[in-house]
Amino acid sequence: MHADGRHVRSPLQACHVIIRRRSDFGSIALPHGVPMSIVIRDVREHELDSVLALNNNAGLAILPLDSTKLQRFYEQAEYFRVAERDGNLAGFLVGFGSGSAHDSSNFAWFRDRHPEFFYIDRIVVASRRRGGGVGRAFYADVQSYTELRYPQLACEVFLDHGADAALLFHGSFGFREVGQNTMADVEVRASMLMKDMCSYPWVKETYAGKLPEELPWVGRPRHAAADNRSTGT
């Protein structure tokens, strides 16, 4: 309480979004009136039908998937995580390291120009959850994953479908345009974005690729890049 008698909420009460990694914290009961957590965790195979529906209802800014391609993502993606909000699936993000054999024209564009990076193939947030912090939670999580393993984080924004909001979102996270690519197979023009991972040089020098396994927040790749085969997009 201020000296003038005004009540001051605690930092927990003032939070709009509380991000949890389920493997780190387990189930947490929150005080009355505090928003439920956003939980970021690895996808489970029985959730793929729901993930497919989310993807194909996302609009023109996301390329469609079929169940075969999604299954290959599940089997081969280095990073494939979902977000839960209030116990319900709120979105997903799929990513591949530069050493993978991921078959995507945008991924190939980055690989032809940059030796080492982590690529966000797609992020989808359920329409009813947009604007609620899910996208920012995903980007915080994938950046934390990337900066321990890769020098750059890469993604693209499609420019032909009202890109202002997406470009502003990525710009607020420190991404910069490094070029543009026209995807011949779907005739879509994309702004190719990258962000330097400032912590990576220190992590590489200090740990030489051998991260401490006893720290749960470090996370682990679902599949090593060397194990990935062509995935298609």
Q: Which tokens sit at 192? A: 């190719």
Confidence (pLDDT) at 178: 98
Report the C-alpha gap between 150 and 233 in whole angstroms.
22
pLDDT digits (tens, 9 = 90+) for 22-59: 444 333 334 444 455 889 999 999 999 999 999 999 88
The predicted pLDDT at position 146 comes to: 97
Residues 126/132/39/191 CA torsion (nearest 10 deg): 60
Residue 130 has pLDDT above 60, yes or no: yes
Q: Is the pLDDT of residue 5 over 60?
A: no
**DSSP at 123:** E
Residue-level pLDDT at 231 = 42
In CATH, the number for domain 42-82+91-227 is 3.40.630.30
Confirm if 233 and 63 have CB atoms less than 8 A apart. Answer: yes
- List pLDDT tens digits, range 187-210: 889 999 999 999 999 999 999 888
Helix 48-56 to helix 67-76 angle, to the nearest 10 degrees? Answer: 120
pLDDT of 9 > 50? The answer is no
The reported pLDDT for the residue numbered 131 is 67
CA distances from 215 to 21, 24, 82, 117, 212 (A): 12, 9, 21, 23, 6
pLDDT in tens, 181-191: 999 878 889 99
What Rg, from alpha-carbon coordinates, does the chain have? 19
* Across 7-20, average pLDDT: 37
Which pLDDT value is given to residue 185? 78
What percent of the chain is predicted at pLDDT more than 70? Answer: 79
Residue carrying the six token digits 């927990």: 12
User: Domain segments of the chain: what residues?
Assistant: 42-82+91-227
Q: Please report which confidence band the pLDDT of residue 162 belongs to, taking 50, 70 and 90 as the band edges.
A: confident
Residue that wins the pLDDT comparison between 151 and 4: 151
